[in-house]
Structure 1
Amino acid sequence: MPMKVWIDISNAPQVHFFKNVIRRLEREGHEVVVSARSFGAIEPLLSNAGIPYTLVGQHGGAEREGKLMAYSERVSELTRFVSKNDPDIALFKHSVEAPRVAYGLDMPSLCVLDNEHAIAQNKLMLPISQRVIAPEAISIEDIMSFGVEEDQIRHFKGFCELAHIHDFLPSVDVLNEFELSEDDPIAVLRPEPVMANYYHGDPSQSIVSSLLPVLDGFNCIVFPRTPQQAEMFSKLGAIVPSRCIDALSLINFSDLVISAGGSMNREAVALLKPAISTYPEKLLSITSYMVENGIKSHSCDPAEIKSHVDDLVNNAGYLNRLRRVLRAMENPIDVIVEELEAVALPRQ
């Protein structure tokens, strides 16, 4: 029996994550309605992917008061959106508003979790989510610490960004935007997540500023978090995209990715590219898992990072290890669709 699935999208990487879930659900005859908040590149990415959506609310900024105001306003707006569309089940990834609305309207919900350090989000989200899907790198105990029962958890072997590259076909057009070719050495960089409530570093400082001089042999393309960062990195000689671009294709044609965030590094791993994490605080469980299995490196020292770059780029042994580890992993899309059907269909 067909089901109607509501998907809430709260940041740009989730567009890549959910687009193939949406396509799978629609191929199987299910209906999908999508809500999205105004934040970063969400809107152009959804439009580029051809996904119909309703814009509901916006990001509250870096301060607590703004986050709380945006949360309360968005819960109210989503309640009207959901009441109008009447879905059978809610699906979201680190959205704090969607589970509150689903719980309040007595609707089953499925939460995808891959950041156990987002304490505030997880405390708001997990206790009222019916089911939680998470990479097995995050321990049962860590998930249960947020008020989840063990039988609510579905572990899968792998990481969420494997869904981003499902059926992915890279386009060389992205290189033309920067007047680059496939033969040019390219490094993709991403600074610290300064807008996130779990990050405690100085938002005016970034390791990217120290890395650009040691990567002088590469065309360095930086994806800033703020307009201030964009201006700073441009002055240091980096290429800074002026609009939303096809970042997955860019990663595919790059030689490596160095990021203080999570998604872009994991996308690089999924695309068989060297990835180096420069996150300066406690590592996520999935990052530690990747480092321990030799498929990603971590360092906050520019000289050591340069050494990692020299070791990893064009390293056949590293590439073979990456392929071997990835072959043993599950497709998260399969897991999500299976869980949606298990939760929603019996209620119809």
Structure 2
Amino acid sequence: MIDRLWIDCTDPASVRLAKALIDRADIEVKVTVREGAGTEKMAKFLGLNFDIIGKHGGKDPYGKLIASIQRMKELAEYAKKLKGYAFYTHSSVEGTRVAYGLGLRPIITSDDTPWSIYVANLIIPLCGYHIVPIWTKGLWSVKHSKNNHPTLVLYDGVKEVEWTKAIELNWKPRYILVREPEVEASYLNYEFKEFHLLAKDFDNVSYAKRYEGFYDMIKLIANSYCVVTLCGSTVGKEACLLGVPTVMYTKGISSMALSVLNYLKDKGLPVYGASSYEELKSLVNRFIQEPVIWDTKDMLKRMESPIDYIDQILRQKD
């Protein structure tokens, strides 16, 4: 059984997963977080004990590379004292590479964005276990060496189930919530001007900016007629899991992202795809004119999260 674990977090969702794992696993844990996009603020919000190491490199590929190299150096200095620790991350390239180089084992990774090809190619060949949702099966195009192929573990759900299943939403809709896309991500090359057109056509639009400030997104969702996000986003999944109508915009992102939209629709959740501004506008207008929240409690009970399987791996006997 693993009794010591290092977790590296690079976005707010990975911090929520870290918190869930810490609450379940009775082991010694060290947590590092990358500064930026609200990651360290989420860690404070959840009351984690953590160290901030490194920053996000921005949109420019050169800036990303330099920030990644610098962060790896700092993480290596931090982790050289963690002999005997296992390692877990939700998609940290730097953490995975450092853990592998320093001989930390096992290396457990999770991911739910196969369209983030650069990240997948850099972490999957180095991990021992890769935990991914069932709707991504067949979408991972990473080439592995003959002697280094991770155990692929599939779960029937989305990661956001882990923290939304315990939430009792006090729904009092007052506005349309728009979560701005992660435009600095390597897999996006589109401006998403359509999102800002909504403010011209509707009076009550609230924007949750991606790289400015920190938002309690659950609280914002609770006050929303509907939520507008890029297809596959964390906030979009949170919203529909909580029963709030969600519109996922499918233009400007890989068609692979449709896999999560279709999965959530098949589960009977209130999520809708829009591939044009006219579709987006029509759906938003519908949810304002006919406010409704769905009861999703039974659906969430039938869905899994990656933490279910990571906890099992940590409890395995040597």
1:79 corresponds to: 76
1:116 corresponds to: 114
Matching residue's letter, 1:15? V
* TM-score, normalising length: structure 2: 0.87
Residues 299 and 305, structure 1, Cα contact 8 Å, conserved in 2? yes
Q: Which moved more, 1:63-72 or 1:130-139?
A: 63-72
Measured at CA, do residues 184 and 100 of structure 1 come closer, stay the same or move farther in structure 2, by a change above 3 Å?
closer
1:224 corresponds to: 209
1:178 corresponds to: none
User: Which residue, out of 203, 216, 222, partners 1:246?
Assistant: 216
Deviation at 1:341, TM superposition (A): 2.6
Measured at CA, do residues 183 and 61 of structure 1 come closer, stay the same or move farther in structure 2, by a change above 3 Å?
closer
Measured at CA, do residues 221 and 16 of structure 1 come closer, stay the same or move farther in structure 2, by a change above 3 Å?
farther
1:298 corresponds to: 273
1:319 equivalenced with 2:288 (yes/no): no
Name the SS of the counterpart of 2:185 in structure 1.
coil
Measured at CA, do residues 150 and 69 of structure 1 come closer, stay the same or move farther in structure 2, by a change above 3 Å?
closer
1:179 corresponds to: none
Matching residue's letter, 1:198? Y
Deviation at 1:311, TM superposition (A): 4.5
Once residues 294 and 307 of structure 1 are traced to their aligned partners in structure 2, the CA distance between those partners, rounded to angstroms, is: 21
1:126 equivalenced with 2:124 (yes/no): yes
Residues 75 and 95, structure 2, Cα contact 8 Å, conserved in 1? yes
Once residues 10 and 127 of structure 1 are traced to their aligned partners in structure 2, the CA distance between those partners, rounded to angstroms, is: 19
Measured at CA, do residues 36 and 257 of structure 1 come closer, stay the same or move farther in structure 2, by a change above 3 Å?
same
5 Å-filtered alignment, 1:1-348, equals: 3-25=3-25, 29-107=26-104, 108-139=106-137, 141-143=138-140, 145-147=142-144, 152-168=151-167, 183-202=172-191, 205-216=192-203, 219-226=204-211, 243-260=213-230, 262-280=233-251, 281-283=253-255, 284=257, 285-291=259-265, 293=267, 295=269, 296-312=271-287, 319=294, 322=296, 325-342=299-316, 345-346=317-318
Once residues 286 and 294 of structure 2 are traced to their aligned partners in structure 1, the CA distance between those partners, rounded to angstroms, is: 12
Once the two structures are superposed, what CA deviation does each residue of 1:198-217 show, in whole Å capped at 9, x if it has no partner?
Answer: 10113xx522111223333x
Matching residue's letter, 2:7? I
Once residues 165 and 326 of structure 1 are traced to their aligned partners in structure 2, the CA distance between those partners, rounded to angstroms, is: 8
Measured at CA, do residues 95 and 306 of structure 1 come closer, stay the same or move farther in structure 2, by a change above 3 Å?
same
Quick check: which one's helix share is greater? 1
RMSD (CA atoms): 2.5
Deviation at 1:78, TM superposition (A): 0.9
Deviation at 1:330, TM superposition (A): 1.6
Deviation at 1:188, TM superposition (A): 1.2
1:240 corresponds to: none
Name the SS of the counterpart of 2:160 in structure 1.
helix
Matching residue's letter, 2:243? L
Once residues 327 and 311 of structure 1 are traced to their aligned partners in structure 2, the CA distance between those partners, rounded to angstroms, is: 29
Name the SS of the counterpart of 1:222 in structure 2.
strand
Q: Which moved more, 1:1-10 or 1:103-112?
A: 1-10
Q: Which moved more, 1:127-136 or 1:304-313?
A: 304-313
Matching residue's letter, 1:214? D
Measured at CA, do residues 7 and 87 of structure 1 come closer, stay the same or move farther in structure 2, by a change above 3 Å?
farther
Measured at CA, do residues 297 and 150 of structure 1 come closer, stay the same or move farther in structure 2, by a change above 3 Å?
farther
Name the SS of the counterpart of 1:134 in structure 2.
strand
Measured at CA, do residues 57 and 83 of structure 1 come closer, stay the same or move farther in structure 2, by a change above 3 Å?
same
Once the two structures are superposed, what CA deviation does each residue of 1:289-343 show, in whole Å capped at 9, x if it has no partner?
Answer: 2245553111143332233235556576x825x555434212432222112333x
Once residues 32 and 129 of structure 1 are traced to their aligned partners in structure 2, the CA distance between those partners, rounded to angstroms, is: 19
Name the SS of the counterpart of 1:319 in structure 2.
coil
Matching residue's letter, 1:328? R
Q: Note the residue ranges of structure 2 that are not aligned, 5 or more in a row.
A: none
Q: How many residues align?
A: 309
Residues 93 and 123, structure 2, Cα contact 8 Å, conserved in 1? yes
Measured at CA, do residues 136 and 150 of structure 1 come closer, stay the same or move farther in structure 2, by a change above 3 Å?
farther
- Larger RCO of the pair (alpha carbons < 8 Å, separation 6+): 2
Measured at CA, do residues 215 and 13 of structure 1 come closer, stay the same or move farther in structure 2, by a change above 3 Å?
farther
Once residues 196 and 5 of structure 1 are traced to their aligned partners in structure 2, the CA distance between those partners, rounded to angstroms, is: 28
Once residues 86 and 311 of structure 1 are traced to their aligned partners in structure 2, the CA distance between those partners, rounded to angstroms, is: 56
Measured at CA, do residues 44 and 90 of structure 1 come closer, stay the same or move farther in structure 2, by a change above 3 Å?
same
Residues 192 and 206, structure 1, Cα contact 8 Å, conserved in 2? no
Residues 133 and 158, structure 2, Cα contact 8 Å, conserved in 1? yes
